[in-house]
Amino acid sequence: MYPTLPFDLLSRMARREAGALTLVPDLRVRTDRPEPEILFTFVPCRWCAAAGPALPPLREVAVVEKPSLARDTTLPVLTLLRCEELTARSLLPLSLIRTAPAAPQPRFSTRAAYWSRYVPADWTSPSAVDRGLELLDAKESWLDAFRPGAVPWTWGEEVVLPASTRAAAHPGVPDRPTDEVAAGRRSLHFLTPHAASAYTARLNDAYLFARITAVRAALSTQDHIAYAV
């Protein structure tokens, strides 16, 4: 008998990511050498031996080798696993954050990086995975009240960016077959491509269905801000 999926929790997280994906970016003038707007810092993956991170998806992203070097700036800092990559669209919330001189630095983690560091769940244990999802849901709930440009950033702790992920194109894993890398790039996962179990596969299918449904619903609303741009 298959364990029951936490549909309410999955739907809430999927709607949250859909809301982030349907934000509208600021209009700007394209330049040859844009200033950094977001900083990436990478941490080792506990599931694989990826040595080198993927290239950032935007020219406005700068990579910081050591997390400590990113503390003397007000730019948003996102911590990722060395083996994962995100789409440019998933970074929209970070590009819309406003800071003030006395405000804390906006610090974020991907779902995969947070799970790798703080959730010791066994993928084959549905109850342990569900508890990890509850922790993740709480850490990314900041987006529920996020209003782009409305008020300066006030969160003093690291929070999670609600975004699905996939295996990096060139993760630097020794002896990793090319077809495995290609399959990983095709496989979008709401947690991490390393979530390998029958239960997490069912979770991912349900989540991605809820996400695309929420995106379609948002973009089919005639008063969505995208129609005014």
> Which DSSP helix (H) or strand (E) runs through 201?
helix 198-219
Q: Which residues of 34-56 are buried (b: 16+ CB within 10 A; e: fewer)?
A: eebbbbbbbbebebbebeebbeb
Q: What is the pLDDT of residue 77?
A: 93
**Per-residue pLDDT at 50:** 79
Q: Which residue has the tokens 């179990």?
A: 197
What pLDDT, on the 0 to 100 scale, is given for residue 171? 45
Residue 31's pLDDT is 63
Residue 85, beta-bridge partner list: 166
Distances (CA, A) of 211 to 95, 116, 169: 21, 23, 24
**Residue 99 confidence (pLDDT):** 81
Structure tokens at 225: 């801000």
Q: Which residues of the chain have pLDDT under 50?
A: 171-172, 175, 178-179, 181-182, 185, 226-229
Structure tokens, 201: 């596969």
CA distances from 225 to 142, 148, 197, 221 (A): 21, 12, 39, 9
Query: pLDDT digit string (tens) for 182-204?
Result: 455 458 999 998 998 999 999 99
